[in-house]
Structure 1
Amino acid sequence: MKISEVMRPDDVLIDVSAASKANLLQLMSNRGAQVLGADRSDIVGALEHREKLGSTGFGAGIAIPHAPVEGVAAPFALLIRLARPIAFEAIDDRPVDVICLILTPPGDQAEYLKLLSTISRKLRSSETLKTIRSATDAGQIYAAIAMCED
């Protein structure tokens, strides 16, 4: 599954302010609910449950909160660059500033894992990460993450 199949240019937000991890999960859930027509409380509940299993902050200032959610009909991704990094209980204890939310329908774990792997691989690229952190507009970030896919 290609990132461009689950993320539109409007699904890239830059210089977002979040006071905490909990606040960020709420912000992402609100946006996901708005775009997908899903219940916001179902989304935030699924994300909070996933974070209790272990932080989705995988290091280098990056987090990929992800969860299957009832009411989500098709996979969805949202990329956020924060104005200021926040604590996220990441594996390396560094605060995060680049977050990619992935919401999927319950069920098809194979597609879910492929999408998670694709996004993770893309965000681990130092070139992609440099572009995300230095871009002056969301279009540059979208092009870096979604347009030049393998």
Structure 2
Amino acid sequence: MDLRSILSPEDVLTEFTAAEKTELLRELSGRAALTVAVDPQLVLSEILRHEELGSSGVGNGVAMPHARFRSLVSPYGVLARLKQPVEFAAIDGIPVDIVFLLLLPELPAVGQLQALACVARQLRNPEILLSFRKAPDAVQAYRAVIGPVEESPSCDAEIRNRTIGR
């Protein structure tokens, strides 16, 4: 899976502001819901339900909140760089300044795991994180995470059918 099949340049937000975790998740859920035509309250409630099971703060200032939806046929993501980090109950206790909200189709389970692995692979790379954090705008931030087209890392599968027309 290529990260470009999950994330588009328009879905990268820099200098995003939120006072706390729930506000952050509400704003990102609302934005994602509009794009994939899912009820915003449903997206938020599913994201929050997953957060109750355990924080999606994976460490090093990164969180990957996610949820599954029957109406989706392929993964969709929104990536935000926060102006000020927020407390997220991350595994290392570090407040979060990078959030990749990921909406997944309910089936197949293999595709869900591949999408999560693809995002995690990119966001655990220290060089990518540094470039993303230093990027002057959303276009450069997107390029930092995706990398050059000819060198873009594959995440081991292909998903080409999007739930939305782009």
Q: TM-score range by the shorter chain?
A: over 0.9
| Shift of residue 58, structure 1, vs aligned partner | 0.8
| Shift of residue 27, structure 1, vs aligned partner | 0.5
Q: Which amino acid aligns with 1:40?
A: P
Query: Does the 8 A contact of 1:14 with 1:80 survive in 2?
Result: yes
Pairs within 5 Å for 1:23-102: 23-102=23-102
Query: Does the 8 A contact of 1:39 with 1:71 survive in 2?
Result: no
Q: Once superposed, what is the RMSD of the aligned Cα atoms?
A: 1.0
Q: Which amino acid aligns with 1:75?
A: P
Q: In 2, distance between residues paired with 1:143 and 1:71?
A: 29
Which is higher, the Rg of structure 1 or of structure 2?
2
| Residue matched to 1:17 | 17
| Shift of residue 21, structure 1, vs aligned partner | 0.5
SS at match of 1:97: strand
Q: In 2, distance between residues paired with 1:17 and 1:128?
A: 22
Query: Does the 8 A contact of 1:14 with 1:83 survive in 2?
Result: yes
> Does 2:153 correspond to 1:149?
yes
| Residue matched to 2:113 | 113
Runs of 4+ aligned structure 1 residues displaced above 4 Å come to none
Q: In 2, distance between residues paired with 1:69 and 1:51?
A: 16
More off after superposition, 92-101 vs 140-149? 140-149
Percent identity between matched residues is 36
SS at match of 1:100: strand
| Shift of residue 135, structure 1, vs aligned partner | 0.4
SS at match of 1:14: strand
SS at match of 1:113: helix
Q: Which amino acid aligns with 2:35?
A: V
More off after superposition, 43-52 vs 140-149? 140-149
Question: Which consecutive unaligned segments of at least 5 residues does structure 1 have?
Answer: none
Query: Does the 8 A contact of 1:28 with 1:101 survive in 2?
Result: yes
Give the count of matched residue pairs.
Answer: 150
Q: Which amino acid aligns with 1:149?
A: P
SS at match of 1:144: helix
TM-score (structure 2 length as normaliser):
0.87
| Shift of residue 149, structure 1, vs aligned partner | 1.8
TM-score (structure 1 length as normaliser):
0.96
> Does 2:137 correspond to 1:137?
yes
| Shift of residue 51, structure 1, vs aligned partner | 0.4
